[in-house]
């Protein structure tokens, strides 16, 4: 089975099925009920239901003819002014099929549109508002120019709670009859970081690899550091056992093949749970994490930078 199939298979098809976005969905339902939606801008973290909500709107409005009345584009692939002036404009000016008096253009990742394309989009939204509604989806609304934002009703999609992600995981496990233990479910939820697509891909890849899904399988598939391993490494460094902490780090990077940025991300998450350390020291260590992640992104040797970060933990423990 191809990856991301489960993400599509268990995608909600109705607005009432969208997970943990009731603050936005209730307003959208009112528009759909009146069959008079405005131009809309959905902003939020990846995997929180923006595209799902847009497609659910189309399915509830048009029924079986929704594909004929919806143009869905990924603006990160087609983000130039020619696409707005050509494909989008040609679709926008044609009359819709069915009872609803307008069609929908869904522009996914609209924050990837160039400035010139967004200026052209502004005029298109104005000129064809009688026959077309635009739904713009983005991760960062600040990258959408103000004239376009002012023409849209803005909806903020929040990161999903762990409890909601766990319900989704349990639904997939039941539907696919997966053999998975409780710790593996907790690991998948932890790694998802509020992204339902990520957790679906982790489950699917794990199921394709092993018949019985365990915590170790989940972390291996996700190529992420186990929180317990990173916490043990930090504890050793804080106790002054730098050589032991370095061996643990080398095991993560060299034997498990984890990237330096992934290790730093997990270190950053574990800092908050370290015992016996005052807040001011934690703040300094978080600042160090940012500094060394930047060094790695600029091309610094991952192992040297991570060892230097570990050394800074040792120095702060002595203070």
- Of 181, 200, 222, the position where a domain reaches its end is 222
- Of 139, 157, 175, the position where a domain reaches its end is 157
Q: What is the mean pLDDT of residues 157-172?
A: 86
Within this chain, do residues 245 and 134 fall inside the same structural domain, yes or no? no
What pLDDT is attached to residue 290?
Answer: 92
Within this chain, do residues 140 and 263 fall inside the same structural domain, yes or no? no
The answer, yes or no, to whether residue 88 has pLDDT greater than 80, is no
Within this chain, do residues 63 and 147 fall inside the same structural domain, yes or no? yes
Q: What is the mean pLDDT of residues 56-61?
A: 88
> How many structural domains comprise the chain?
3
Within this chain, do residues 236 and 211 fall inside the same structural domain, yes or no? no
Confidence of residue 295 (pLDDT cuts 50, 70, 90): very high
The answer, yes or no, to whether residue 3 has pLDDT greater than 60, is no
Mean per-residue pLDDT of the chain:
84
Confirm whether pTM is higher than 0.85: no
Name the percent of the chain lying above pLDDT 90.
Answer: 8
Name the percent of the chain lying above pLDDT 70.
Answer: 94
Q: What is the mean pLDDT of residues 80-100?
A: 74
Confidence of residue 318 (pLDDT cuts 50, 70, 90): low
The answer, yes or no, to whether residue 75 has pLDDT greater than 80, is no
Is the residue at 5 inside a domain? no
Within this chain, do residues 118 and 237 fall inside the same structural domain, yes or no? no
Q: What is the mean pLDDT of residues 142-165?
A: 88
- Of 190, 207, 222, the position where a domain reaches its end is 222
Q: What is the mean pLDDT of residues 25-50?
A: 86
Is the residue at 28 inside a domain? yes
The answer, yes or no, to whether residue 94 has pLDDT greater than 50, is yes
DSSP the chain: --TTHHHHHT--SSGGGSSS-HHHHHHHHHHHHHT----EEEEESTTSSHHHHHHHHHHHHHGGGGGGGEEEEETTTS-SHHHIIIIIHHHHTSPPSSSSS-EEEEEETGGGS-HHHHHHHHHHHHHTTTTEEEEEEES-GGGS-HHHHHTSEEEEEPPPPHHHHHHHHHHHHHHHT-EE-HHHHHHHHHHHTT-HHHHHHHHHHHHHH-SEE-HHHHHHHHT---HHHHHHHHHHHHTT-HHHHHHHHHIIIIIS---HHHHHHHHHHHHTT-SS--HHHHHHHHHHHHHHHHHHHTT--HHHHHHHHHHHHHHHHH-
Within this chain, do residues 122 and 197 fall inside the same structural domain, yes or no? no
Confidence of residue 5 (pLDDT cuts 50, 70, 90): confident
The answer, yes or no, to whether residue 79 has pLDDT greater than 70, is no
Q: What is the mean pLDDT of residues 186-202?
A: 86
Tell me the residue range of the domain where 211 lies.
162-222
Q: What is the CATH number of the domain that holds 149?
A: 3.40.50.300
What pLDDT is attached to residue 1?
Answer: 47
What pLDDT is attached to residue 313?
Answer: 83
């Amino acid at each position: 089975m191809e990856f991301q199939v489960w993400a599509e298979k268990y995608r909600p098809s109705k607005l009432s099925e969208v997970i943990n976005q009731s603050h936005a969905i209730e307003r959208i339902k009112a528009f759909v009920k009146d069959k008079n939606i405005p131009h809309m801008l959905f902003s939020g973290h990846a995997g929180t239901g923006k595209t799902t909500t847009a497609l659910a709107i189309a399915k509830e409005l048009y029924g079986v003819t929704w594909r004929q009345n919806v143009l869905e584009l990924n603006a990160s692939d087609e983000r130039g002014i020619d696409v707005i002036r050509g494909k989008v404009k040609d679709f926008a000016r044609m009359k819709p099929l069915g009872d609803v008096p307008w069609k929908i253009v869904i522009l996914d990742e609209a924050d990837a549109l160039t400035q010139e394309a967004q200026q052209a989009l502004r005029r298109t939204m104005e000129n064809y508002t009688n026959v077309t509604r635009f739904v713009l989806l983005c991760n960062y609304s600040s990258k959408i120019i103000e004239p376009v934002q002012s023409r849209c009703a803005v909806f903020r999609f929040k990161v999903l709670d762990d409890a909601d992600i766990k319900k989704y995981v349990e639904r997939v496990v039941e539907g696919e009859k997966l053999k998975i233990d409780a710790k593996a479910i907790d690991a998948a939820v932890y790694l998802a970081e509020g992204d339902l697509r990520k957790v679906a891909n982790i489950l699917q890849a794990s199921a394709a690899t092993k018949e019985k899904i365990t915590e170790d399988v989940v972390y291996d598939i996700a190529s992420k550091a186990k929180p317990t391993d990173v916490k043990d490494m930090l504890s050793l460094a804080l106790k002054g056992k730098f050589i032991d902490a370095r061996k643990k780090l080398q095991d993560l990077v060299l034997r498990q093949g984890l990237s330096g940025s992934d290790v730093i991300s997990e270190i950053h998450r574990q800092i908050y749970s370290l015992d016996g350390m005052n807040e001011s020291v934690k703040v300094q260590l978080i600042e160090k994490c940012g500094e060394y992640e930047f060094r790695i992104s600029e091309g610094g040797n991952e192992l040297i930078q991570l060892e230097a970060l570990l050394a800074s933990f040792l120095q702060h423990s002595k203070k």
